[in-house]
Structure 1
Amino acid sequence: MRVGIGKLSLKKKKYLHHNYKIDGEDLPNEKNTINKKALAISSAAVLFPLSVLNFIAGTYKSIINDLSKTVEKPTIFDVFGADWEKSVSIKNAFLPVLPTNVYLVSLLASTLVGFLVYSKINYRSDENVAYGQKGDSRFTTIEEIIEQYREIPEKTEVFEGYGGVPVSHYKDKYYIDTDTVNTAILGVSRSGKGEMIVVVMIDNLSRAKNQSSMVINDPKGELYSASKETLEKRGYDVQVLNILDPLQGMSYNPLQLVIDAWVNGDDQEAAKRANTLTFSLYNDPNAGDNAFFNTSAQNAINGIILAIVDYCVKNDCIEKVTMHNVSQMLNELGTFYYKENPDDFIEKNALDEYFKSLPQGNVAKMQYGSTSFAGEKAKGSILATANQGLQTFADKMFAKMTSKSSLDLKQVGFPKNLFFQLDERFLNKRVTVSFHKNDEKKTEIGSYKIKVKALGMCNMNFDETLEDGDLLLIRYQDEEDPNKKYRLLYRLKFEKLLDEKGRVVYQKKEGFEDKPEYKRQVILNMMANTFPLKPKTKLSYSDKPTAVFMIVPDYDKSNHALASIFVKQLYTELSMNCNDTKGKKCYRRVHFLLDEFGNMPPIDDMGGVLTVCAGRNMLFNLVLQSYSQIEKLYDKEATEIKDNCQNHIYIMSTNKDTIEEISLRAGHKTPIGKSSNESHMEADNKLTKNADQQRIITPERLSQFIEGETLVLRALHRQDINRKKVRAYPIFNTKETSMPYRWQFLGKDFDTSRDLNEIDIPSLHTGLDLTDLYLDFLDFILNKTAKKEYMKKQQANPVVKEQLTIDDVVKSLIGLVKEKRNLNDTEDIRKRLIQMLLNYAKDNIVPKTEEIAFLIEHSSDHAITSYLEELLKILTEQ
């Protein structure tokens, strides 16, 4: 193919064009082609009269010739009396018998008649009136759906590749969109969103060969109770963020990411993460004139968070960085006023004075600044607003749940991770990390080059399959000095998971029930080390996808913010790990299935999240009742959120604006509009045609959808399964492509009648004593007079510790051991602690006080030591 440009002739490259026709590719244009029907009729109008005239003349001449043989001068009466059968023949129509000038005149007249006939017929043709100029949209055909989307079995069977959003259903097959796209699902309450889309997605995502991790908003707990058993059989690690019953489910400390950033030496990143957390607590799009107090309250809490993190890191008590302590600090110091001298007229606030004492440039001081500048009246309103936002964490049950973390957030998208810390002299150097088989050849499994970051930190995600006994090698060679080379070698040991009674836990995955479950934390046995200092190394490994159900009660919105905080923090953690990973995306695809998204508190920068998340292998599926929900929640961001949902699946709505928008987005077609001017007594009745514009689906039809009908707008799906370009017409699922309901075919695997109350959800924080994590705020009061007054206050209102039993303490210790809190202890100390706990859990053997005292003396973890001291106290008081 050549394209001429002036005098130049350029050969067009193959990738710049396609050699096949795409339906709908050409823009609508008036058709100037020959009307074949009109041409045929007009040709007949020309030829037929000539043929008839020639037939008559030929027949007459044949009869005259026959009569001339018997009659000298035949008359007209002789002609009528002749034997016509001998003379009449079809050939007479084609044999020339008339003079040439007669034929020319007849041909001219017939041609004129034929032209008039052609013009009349062609003028009345519909194709010349309506040719798509006012819209040429249409619905996708079944054949096109089959060509454009992956076909999967509707249930049970495993299939290749990823699962995805169900866009259509035909003959016991689902057609799913597996592209990295975001989806908005629109359906009013009771319209079947969960039955037709959400449960079906959970099913196909978990049946796929490439299983995706899932984060599911579950307002009633129905999805968890229906899915738990099936997902575990399919190999999932099922977790529950239980806001309905905080003492059942995973532990989740929303400050963990702030701690991690601070420990890594990045106080600015810690401030950003604190701000992301507090945004969900204090952002109110409808605050109006009160927006100042909300923003100031948010900044004040940011300052308190960072101050507590700084204090706890310096004093080696990181476990005390909790939102409950943030609430306590606000209430303890924010309400404590004192006078330096009895004669002073103005009282000072202990919280203000603490932040004033911090050095210039301190990030906590800068965050708290706007509160310090406010007048006393405004400051009171700011701190009251701040306290209101922390009410969730003042509740004892939520305080326990948010005081520790049982789920490493990165495992949702990166289930295999290596973290190690080298000497700071290696900052910005590149080290090589490789995995090897422990055979004679030390066969390499995988190799990575990593740049050492601040404080010698190295974080690496990988996707190789490892086994017990494999080797981990970390090495560095100086490019300028070849003699400077270091190596660190570990042998991997996968440790079997034990229950509280010391029994081996076996897998729940179907077909693997006889295989033991292994701890995610891999034991690293050092075999060699030539680095100057012994590096701190941690290897986390799992082949399991993760499913996190957020059970959020729909009847009580007071604690809903936790779910939004969790979603944003998870996204942030995974995004940061993407930046450290080759390919810049999650190794395991993550689907956020946010049912009742319109009832969740706003997620910080949701528009920005949707803009970039798909490229990181994180996909959001937003289940809404109408567009008005996100417009109310996100205000100016609403348009950006809608625009970054590449699929819009409409099920049913009662919102007029939503129905109107969907109808407009589906597009228009150009039908023929006809009007007639008829009169009973007139023979010349006129018919007028014009091009009309009509929506391919009207708002009335959308508002009256039949059960199972859905409309799919899929603007970005522009290739078929063979990667050929296509035009993304809307999909209208109706009749044979209607979407089935869960109860019709998935009731066995996903039974929503199962009762949540019948399921025992494990929890590590149930027996936690919050008083063990309390901070002594006396350290935050600098004035001696104020210290004395505060101590008197404390003595008048002493902290009452919870009365714990031996069972409570042992259970908490087992939880801490499972978290690997005692990794820095010697192997002998770890074994003795585990044996003591197992003896009590399995055989009810009460620990000896001498053994507890010995472990207290030699244990390095503060939390374990505290519980051992509590255990010793219980036994000595008996």
Structure 2
Amino acid sequence: MNYSTNRPSYARWASEDEIKQSLCKVNFNETNRQCSGIPLYTGPDEQVYVDPSDTHTMIIGSTGSKKSRNIVMPSLQILAHAGESFIATDPKAELYERSLNMLRKMGLKPLVINLRDPRRSNCWNPLTIPYRLYRNGERDRSMELVTDLANCMVKEDSANEPYWQNSAADLLAGMILILFECAKESEINFKSLLALRIQALKINDSSPFIKENFLDCLDRSAFVASLLSGTAEVCDDTRSCIVSHFDQAMRPFFSQDSLINMLSVSDFDMSSIGKKKTAVFLIIPDENTLYHRLISVFVKQCYTELILEAQKQPGKRLPVRVNFMLDEFASLPPISDFPAMITASRSRNIRFNLIVQSLHQLRHQYGDNAEIIKGNCENWVFLYSRELQLLEELVRLAGTKSNEEPLITVPMLQTLDKNKGEALVLHKRLHPFIASLKDIDQYRNVSNNVKQIPYPVNTVKAENVFDFNKFCKSKSSIYLSLMFSGKTEQEISMEEEKRFMSIGDDDAVLEPLFTSVISDDREIEEFAASAGTSLLIKER
């Protein structure tokens, strides 16, 4: 068959039969259904047509275009009825409040990371997963997550001088590694990071405490030494600027006791999201983008845990499909390696649904990688936008008719009927079509009663805090020199004893010389109070 002469080269609209044959029909209120996905087309009564494959979807619509009501809320209902897990960003908490009763009825376990009110939230410690990887010998993977966390927490896209940001990120990563190597698991939390920052960078005799009493004893080839030397071993003015940038970036996460408490432990296992049907809501203040940093960290860590869990399964796929429903995706700080994530996730039973206001936002965050992300989304759903470049791209993608006129025009895209839920859908290799997507309240048996919706109650207190000064004072220079070598604490102690026994009486003093004045608890409390939080270091 000659392809060029036997197939039409012009564009046309997909017929209703073609649409229905390409998608899977589900009844909106039907339980235990065999397929699920976001609504791409709706029929009479409760009929909804979805893409049941592992295909990723990009949903484009400016503020007020009914992305949540026409697509996200119905999608969560469909996924729950199919027994699939999902992780949804929820800026207004409306998804959680509208869905909770239905989720419990369907047997999904609801989890809430509530950055609007950390006292009404499940607990999640961003340091737990990289710490356990570190302790289990997977230090390269742990270091990747630590670097991602440090970059997300400290770096800003708008900075003109990246040196200060990069140095502050290295400082944060280095201090996290100190906790991983030196602290007990119960002390791995943000409160310990604050205490470590206060103690380690206290200036005595013109140099910070950490230089004389820790770094100078380390093997200089240790990676942590390179991370910390950029702050500890520079001139006073440079160090002050780095520390100032660090303090400014971390202040929102150090200044709220309720947030520190919420981030001090994890009360759920991320890997279980791919084994048991679970609904995770990430409630974030859309008026304050500082907390978006934690969401990017959560998504990356959750993806990492799910991939590790998938690798344990016989078919290298999660037993329960996990759907990421990421509203305001292009407003989140860039997620490290996201193009690779979206490429590899399909074979692991993971789907991404990316909800953006404009492609300009996406390009701003991901640069050239935005094209890779777009290319991996085989479903595009367009609701409304004034972004001319986006509109022209959609016109080109839809193609031209036999008379060389465009199938879709910019005015047509600008006049899609919001009240009818009209949306332009580009689905895989099917011709384009206009769908009328129903508002969530148009479906039967959907509760809109959000009064007195219960939230988790967080009673956790971050009480265990690592004392860096006491740790340094209790260890010999030999012990410190053996750290960060991959050895366990027991192995380091045995090696230390061997070296002590091999040293004669006339050899140099082995203990580090503590000429620095060690901060007392009162001084630490005063510094913490200036950051707006309380800090009490208990005896180890």
The TM tier, using the shorter chain, reads 0.7 to 0.9
Report the secondary structure of 1:381's partner residue. helix
| Distance apart, 1:651 and its partner CA | 0.9
| Superposed CA offset, 1:177-208 (max 9, x none) | 01111110011111111111101110111112
1:760 aligns with 2:475: no
Which amino acid in structure 2 is aligned with residue 366 of structure 1?
S
CA contact (8 A) 2:262 2:460 kept: no
CA distance in 1, matches of 2:447, 2:162: 45
- Aligned twin of 1:397: 258
Report the secondary structure of 1:186's partner residue. strand
1:568 aligns with 2:300: yes
CA distance in 2, matches of 1:293, 1:778: 30
Report the secondary structure of 1:648's partner residue. strand
CA distance in 1, matches of 2:323, 2:52: 11
CA contact (8 A) 2:126 2:297 kept: yes
CA distance in 2, matches of 1:287, 1:582: 46
In structure 2, stretches of 5+ residues that fail to align are 474-511, 529-537
CA distance in 2, matches of 1:219, 1:776: 38
CA distance in 2, matches of 1:138, 1:280: 44
- Aligned twin of 2:16: 142
Which amino acid in structure 2 is aligned with residue 570 of structure 1?
C
| Residues 157/358 of structure 1: CA separation in 2 closer, same or farther (3 Å cut) | same
Which amino acid in structure 2 is aligned with residue 568 of structure 1?
K
| Superposed CA offset, 1:121-169 (max 9, x none) | xxxxxxxxxx96xx5121110011122211111x221253231121111
Pairing of 1:328-367 with structure 2 (within 5 A): 328-334=195-201, 336-339=202-205, 347-353=206-212, 354-367=214-227
CA contact (8 A) 1:182 1:647 kept: yes
Which of the numbers 172, 175, 189 marks the counterpart of 1:322?
189
- Aligned twin of 2:515: 785
CA distance in 1, matches of 2:112, 2:319: 22
Report the secondary structure of 2:391's partner residue. helix
| Distance apart, 1:28 and its partner CA | 4.8
CA distance in 2, matches of 1:664, 1:780: 64
CA distance in 2, matches of 1:647, 1:283: 32
Report the secondary structure of 1:710's partner residue. strand
CA distance in 1, matches of 2:292, 2:62: 21
- Aligned twin of 1:749: 446
CA distance in 2, matches of 1:238, 1:631: 33
- Aligned twin of 2:427: 714
- Aligned twin of 2:136: 264
| Distance apart, 1:227 and its partner CA | 0.2
- Aligned twin of 2:273: 412
CA distance in 2, matches of 1:295, 1:784: 30
- Aligned twin of 1:220: 92
Which amino acid in structure 2 is aligned with residue 207 of structure 1?
H
Which of the numbers 149, 165, 168 marks the counterpart of 1:294?
165
Report the secondary structure of 2:291's partner residue. coil
CA contact (8 A) 1:327 1:393 kept: no
- Aligned twin of 2:42: 169
CA distance in 1, matches of 2:124, 2:84: 22
CA distance in 1, matches of 2:165, 2:385: 34
- Aligned twin of 1:461: none
Pairing of 1:204-215 with structure 2 (within 5 A): 204-208=78-82, 211-215=83-87
1:379 aligns with 2:109: no
CA contact (8 A) 1:214 1:546 kept: yes
Which of the numbers 93, 104, 113 marks the counterpart of 1:232?
104
Which amino acid in structure 1 is aligned with residue 63 of structure 2?
S
| Residues 796/640 of structure 1: CA separation in 2 closer, same or farther (3 Å cut) | closer
Which of the numbers 428, 432, 441 marks the counterpart of 1:730?
432
1:629 aligns with 2:327: no
CA distance in 2, matches of 1:197, 1:798: 49
Report the secondary structure of 1:185's partner residue. strand
| Distance apart, 1:608 and its partner CA | 1.8
Larger radius of gyration: 1
Which amino acid in structure 1 is aligned with residue 224 of structure 2?
A
Report the secondary structure of 2:168's partner residue. helix
Report the secondary structure of 2:60's partner residue. strand
1:618 aligns with 2:331: no
Which amino acid in structure 2 is aligned with residue 754 of structure 1?
V
CA distance in 2, matches of 1:283, 1:636: 19
| Residues 546/759 of structure 1: CA separation in 2 closer, same or farther (3 Å cut) | same
Identity %: 26
| Distance apart, 1:800 and its partner CA | 13
CA contact (8 A) 2:90 2:281 kept: yes
CA contact (8 A) 1:330 1:351 kept: no
| Superposed CA offset, 1:810-849 (max 9, x none) | xxxxxxxxxxxxxxxxxxxxxxxxxxxxxxxxxxxxxxxx
- Aligned twin of 1:342: none
Report the secondary structure of 1:790's partner residue. coil
Which amino acid in structure 2 is aligned with residue 401 of structure 1?
M
CA distance in 2, matches of 1:732, 1:795: 66
**TM-score for both structures, normalised by structure 1:** 0.53
CA contact (8 A) 2:113 2:121 kept: yes
| Residues 185/800 of structure 1: CA separation in 2 closer, same or farther (3 Å cut) | closer
CA contact (8 A) 1:258 1:274 kept: yes
Report the secondary structure of 1:151's partner residue. strand
| Distance apart, 1:373 and its partner CA | 5.4
Report the secondary structure of 1:784's partner residue. coil
| Distance apart, 1:771 and its partner CA | 3.9
Which amino acid in structure 1 is aligned with residue 237 of structure 2?
K
| Superposed CA offset, 1:516-536 (max 9, x none) | xxxxxxxxxxxxxxxxxxxxx
Quote the RMSD (CA, aligned, Å). Answer: 2.6
Which amino acid in structure 2 is aligned with residue 143 of structure 1?
D
The one of the two structures with greater contact order (alpha-carbon pairs below 8 A, sep at least 6) is 2
Which amino acid in structure 1 is aligned with residue 450 of structure 2?
R
Aligned residues: 489
- Stretch moving more, 363-372 or 624-633: 363-372
CA contact (8 A) 2:196 2:468 kept: no
| Superposed CA offset, 1:616-673 (max 9, x none) | 11111011111111112222322221111111101111211111111211111121xx
- Aligned twin of 1:719: none
| Distance apart, 1:557 and its partner CA | 1.9
CA contact (8 A) 2:11 2:431 kept: yes
Report the secondary structure of 1:161's partner residue. coil
CA distance in 2, matches of 1:646, 1:634: 19
CA contact (8 A) 1:162 1:212 kept: no
CA contact (8 A) 2:195 2:524 kept: no
Which of the numbers 286, 291, 298 marks the counterpart of 1:554?
286
CA contact (8 A) 1:195 1:742 kept: yes
Pairing of 1:787-806 with structure 2 (within 5 A): 789-791=517-519, 793-794=520-521
CA distance in 2, matches of 1:362, 1:795: 33
Which of the numbers 18, 22, 29 marks the counterpart of 1:156?
29
Report the secondary structure of 2:515's partner residue. helix
CA distance in 1, matches of 2:14, 2:257: 55
Which amino acid in structure 2 is aligned with residue 351 of structure 1?
I
Which amino acid in structure 1 is aligned with residue 455 of structure 2?
I
| Distance apart, 1:285 and its partner CA | 3.2
CA contact (8 A) 2:210 2:232 kept: no
| Distance apart, 1:776 and its partner CA | 5.0
Which amino acid in structure 2 is aligned with residue 777 of structure 1?
N
1:280 aligns with 2:152: yes
- Stretch moving more, 660-669 or 193-202: 660-669
CA contact (8 A) 1:285 1:634 kept: no
**TM-score for both structures, normalised by structure 2:** 0.85
In structure 1, stretches of 5+ residues that fail to align are 1-16, 18-24, 30-130, 340-346, 416-543, 672-692, 716-726, 802-865, 868-878
CA distance in 1, matches of 2:104, 2:72: 18
